Amino acid sequence: MIKEATLFDLPSVFEISKELYSKAVNHQNIYKWDDASAIHSLKILITSDNSTILIDEQNKKLNGFIIANISTPPAGKNLIASDIAFFVRPEAQGGTTALRLIKRYETWAKSKGATHIELGVSSGVNTERTLSMYSFLGYSPSSVTYIKEL
């Protein structure tokens, strides 16, 4: 079942977020995980009107999640939905979890008045497979991000 996370779901969302980080080599190269920061950020994302954490829960276990927010571009008036994190546990990959989460994300974005929706690929986890799925669902490339350590 796909639903919006509540503070009651925080412990499970925290654990799956930590699992994503453990597999996300690109993120590990940029920042060190901090439990207190993660919990603080997740609380804000769950309770803010401009963000959501959508979870797929089956038998009291989280199979996956999408964390997203909605914002106005600096020089625009329309709303853009952007994902912050998207992860499906390995045992749930290949099923319908990812597709159902994306469809629910699209519904959430429309309900907030978004004119466009973004899905990124930054973790380094199954990049080619993820890009293929996004293309299949009608998404097209929009930007490329470069990073440099200072």
Pairing of strands 79-88, 114-118: parallel
Q: Which two tokens stand for residue 148?
A: 């440099």
List, for residues 23-78, the tens digit of each pLDDT value.
777 666 777 889 999 999 999 999 999 999 999 998 888 999 999 999 999 999 99
Q: What is the mean pLDDT of residues 141-150?
A: 80
Mean pLDDT rounded to a whole number for the chain: 89
Regarding the domain with residue range 2-137, which homologous superfamily does it belong to in the CATH classification?
Answer: Gcn5-related N-acetyltransferase (GNAT) (3.40.630.30)
Mean of pLDDT values over 98-124: 91
DSSP per-residue codes, 60-104: TEEEEEEEEEEE--TT--SEEEEEEEEEE-GGGTTTTHHHHHHHH
Q: Is 123 or 65 the better-scoring residue by pLDDT?
A: 65
Residue 27 pLDDT: 67
Assessment of whether the complete model's pTM goes beyond 0.85? yes
Q: Decide the pairing of beta strands 61-71 and 51-58.
A: antiparallel
Phi and psi at residue 138, in whole multiples of 5°? Answer: 95, 5
pLDDT of residue 65: 96
Residue 131 predicted with pLDDT over 90: no
Domain assignments of the chain as residue spans, ordered by start: 2-137
Check residue 130 and give its pLDDT: 80
* Cα 94–chain centre separation: 18
77's tokens:
């008036």
The model's pLDDT over 6-15, given as tens digits with 9 standing for 90+, comes to 999 999 999 9
Q: What is the pLDDT of residue 124?
A: 62
Residue 82 above 80 pLDDT? yes
